[in-house]
Amino acid sequence: MERDAQKSNKKFCVFAELKLEFFKIFGMFIGEYHYSIDDKNRLAIPVKFRATLNRGAVVTRGIDTCLFLYSKKEWLCLANKLVKLPISQAKTRAFARLMLAGAMDVSLDKLGRIILPDYLRKYAELKKKVVIAGLYNRLEIWDEEKWEEYKRKSEKESPDIAEALGELGV
């Protein structure tokens, strides 16, 4: 029994290492970056993420009053999962609508900027100063004040969050 658990753990670690190598090559989004939206609704994307997003990107409504920015490849994986959710359940329909109907293809210009549609900027209540937060497979775009407020709250709750994640095996 213990030997099976060790084999399973070893397989998981190998898979995790492969996935980490994939993201090293194809782009892993981590970090916190401060930028400004210009008068034409353009937002510069951090240089280290541009190669990944140059192959296509999608911006959509996020959760907690922010926007999610996905590479096209990551977006297709998510969208494929969303369309398979049961449409007979109100909450799955609502979530699919939030993500899919709010989505917009975006492309980077020569200076590495995307144009944020007005409806998404209003949804996330984005003012001029924003934070781009890397969350491994996506970027989140936050109004700077809302981000700071969210971080303060999360940092205060971090012991409870850590305990809940520990119960999930993280």
- The tokens for 170 are 């993280």
Whole-prediction pTM: 0.80
Question: Which residues span the domain enclosing 26?
Answer: 2-167
- The tokens for 42 are 């353009």
- The whole-number pLDDT of residue 13 equals 52
- The whole-number pLDDT of residue 21 equals 53
Tens of pLDDT, residue by residue over 99-140, are 999 999 999 999 999 999 999 999 999 999 999 999 999 999
Buried residues in 137-147 as b, exposed as e (16+ CB within 10 A)? bbbbbbbbebb
Domain count across the chain: 1
Question: How many residues can be counted in the chain?
Answer: 170
d(Cα 121, Cα 130) in Å, to the nearest integer? 11
Tens of pLDDT, residue by residue over 30-49, are 999 999 999 999 999 999 99
- The whole-number pLDDT of residue 166 equals 78
d(Cα 66, Cα 24) in Å, to the nearest integer? 26
Beta pairing class for 29-36 and 113-115? unpaired
The CATH number that applies at residue 163 is 3.40.1550.20
